[in-house]
Amino acid sequence: MRIGLILGVVAVYMCLVGLVETFKARWIISDVIGLGQLLLIMAGIVAGYLAARQAAGAGGVMAVAQGAVAGVIVGASLAALLVVGHLVDLRVMFVNASPALYSLLAFGRDTAAGSRLLLIAGAAAGGIGGLLFLIPTGVRRNLIWGFTAALILSLFQDLLQLLLQTPGLPLTVRRFLFATNGPSLAGAATVCVLTWVLVALRSWRGAAVRGRIAALPPAGRRGLRLMGLALGLAGLLLLPTAGGSFVSLVMVTTGLYTLMGLGLNLEVGFAGLLDLGFVAFFAIGAYTVGLLTSHSQLGLVHWSFWTAVPVAVLVSVIAGILFGIPVLRVRGDYLAIATLGLGEITRLLVLSDALSPWLGGSFGILLIPKPVLFGLELSAPGQLYYVTLVFSALAAYVAWRLQDSRLGRAWMAIREDEDVAQAIGIDLVGTKLLAYGLGAGFAGIGGAIFAVLLGSIFPHSFQLLISINVLVLIILGGMGSLWGVVVGAVTLVGLPELLREFGEYRFLVYGVVLVAMMLYRPEGLVPAAARKRELHEETTMGDEPVDSAPAAIAGVAAGGEERAVGEG
């Protein structure tokens, strides 16, 4: 009953905030089921699964029965909303409690018949959830992956249809996968089956393949890694051609957040210096390029983009060092508040009347020219995509080299304990200022590209929310992880941009994702090894558990000094 009530409240909430009515037009299977209906069905299935898991020791029949009861309670909650909505005008408080929503809940019938159908549908969904718990883990995993693939096919149908229009691909593939208003039944079923087969093959032969790869000589493993990198690079290079200008623009935006994420990761992920004013460095890079290249009256020297970028990076680094000096002695939450204040001071200074003759005030800086390379003006999003890709790759390489360097290890020591780091001889002042300066330099590159992308810059483009988004993508991807920054940027910036029609619920999804991440995967999607060990005591180090590391060291010592020195 408790699980059913909780999921029932969730289902009613999704109805009243407009999720169900908005998403019903996005067909999972054309003219069969929409995303809005699927959300309600999933509430019943999840309730049934959780209730069955509680009754795992009572037998299969009891587990399915409890799942069905939980599903009935979810259906009863929706039926209560349907009845109350016909008795009371809920639109006075909930604007999304519309007749279209009630018609959807009642399956196009009257209130009494709709309520009965909701109870039956809830029991069926809960029973399916109970059966889902009883089936073997491997089969359940295959089902979930197949369902996820069909859902991805629906959510990104516009992008996929655009990619399938690439010259050389037969038109019959697109017509098979998609109907007029969504994925076809045959297309969705084919995608599910293919996904099941691939997941089953991975489960069946995955361990053997990994063992063979591990048995290869170093040259062979290096060749496989290079082949994978080459394929990934080829996909990135061909993306603007296949995806068009919109996808290119989304990828440029993702690249800008990746640059900022790599910079903030040096401060937060490596050195443990929480910075909520990071957008100030992004703005400094943009304004520096604007002042040095603009053809407006605010332009200073009318340099090219390529000449102005190194100056913008240098100015951002200096600003980062100056930014870090006042907060050297501040730690923890107080550091976050102090950096937040400094970031807001920067924005207000740009907006001030005192600096408007030089920075343009609220009117900003206009007429910023596009980059020109070998006589070709890089004005299209697809062309600027390659500029962003090159600078992002360069920043990632620098961050990767810094990670295991003497400076990177000093940052990590400061992150763990400043007092101990100082006691072993680490210069706290210089090391912290380097983190602020280098991180600011990465953000400055992003600001420079942002300025030429828009051709103009305004103070209102550099709000606190940008700093929050960059910090969130680091947390989601994995603090201290370079790949985590990329995955976080794609997840929180790229995917929402491709799903613009659902943008109204963007921050609702943000909140749900962050709460789920903090509860079930606090280390992030692609965590750094050290961070994962900190948060999971059971994590293994190589083939041995972490707790057995002292025993392994003792074994090396018992084996003789000669072997220990050789391994060292």
Task: Kindly state the tokens that stand for 236.
Answer: 């990135």
Task: Kindly state the tokens that stand for 333.
Answer: 């939450």
Query: What integer pLDDT is reported at residue 264 of this predicted model?
Result: 93
103-121 b/e with 16+ CB inside 10 Å = b?
ebbbeeeebeebbebbbeb
Task: Kindly state the tokens that stand for 432.
Answer: 């912290």
Query: What integer pLDDT is reported at residue 313 of this predicted model?
Result: 95
| Domains of the chain by residue range | 2-208, 250-468
Element (H, E) at 233: helix 218-265
Nearest to 178 by CA among 195, 165, 196, 194: 165
Query: What integer pLDDT is reported at residue 123 of this predicted model?
Result: 94
Query: What integer pLDDT is reported at residue 555 of this predicted model?
Result: 35
- Do 284 and 319 touch, CB atoms closer than 8 A? yes
DSSP 293-345: H--STT-SS---HHHHHHHHHHHHHHHHHHHHGGGTT--HHHHHHHHHHHHHH
Query: What integer pLDDT is reported at residue 169 of this predicted model?
Result: 66
Nearest to 4 by CA among 97, 127, 143, 134: 127
Task: Kindly state the tokens that stand for 67.
Answer: 């799942």
Task: Kindly state the tokens that stand for 71.
Answer: 């599903």
Q: The tokens 């309520």 sit on which residue?
A: 115
DSSP 8-state code for residue 526? S
What are the DSSP E strand ranges found in 401-479? none
CB neighbours of residue 161 within 10 Å: 12
- C-alpha span between 410 and 325 (Å, rounded): 18
CA 254 to chain centre: 10
- C-alpha span between 284 and 291 (Å, rounded): 10
SS3 call for 532: helix
pLDDT values of the chain reduced to their tens digit, one per residue, 568 residues = 899 999 999 999 999 988 888 888 788 888 888 888 899 999 999 999 999 988 777 677 888 899 999 999 999 999 999 999 988 888 888 888 888 889 889 988 888 999 999 999 999 999 999 998 888 888 888 888 888 888 888 888 877 887 777 666 667 888 888 887 888 888 888 988 898 888 888 877 777 887 888 888 888 888 888 888 888 888 888 888 777 788 888 899 999 999 999 999 999 989 989 889 999 999 999 999 999 999 888 888 889 999 999 999 999 999 999 989 998 888 888 888 999 988 889 888 888 888 888 888 888 899 999 999 888 888 888 899 999 999 999 999 999 999 889 999 999 999 888 889 999 999 999 999 999 999 999 999 999 999 999 999 998 888 888 999 899 889 888 888 888 999 999 888 888 777 766 667 777 777 887 888 888 888 888 887 777 777 665 444 444 444 433 333 233 333 333 333 333 3
Task: Kindly state the tokens that stand for 543.
Answer: 């083939």
- C-alpha span between 2 and 548 (Å, rounded): 42
In total, the chain counts a number of residues equal to: 568
- Do 244 and 159 touch, CB atoms closer than 8 A? no
Q: What is the dihedral of CA 470, 472, 476, 478, to 10 degrees?
A: 60
Question: C-alpha angle with apex 438: 437 to 440, nearest 5 degrees?
Answer: 65
- C-alpha span between 512 and 504 (Å, rounded): 14
Query: What integer pLDDT is reported at residue 492 of this predicted model?
Result: 85
Element (H, E) at 29: strand 27-29
- Do 421 and 410 touch, CB atoms closer than 8 A? yes
- C-alpha span between 372 and 237 (Å, rounded): 20
User: Model pTM?
Assistant: 0.82
- C-alpha span between 539 and 282 (Å, rounded): 37
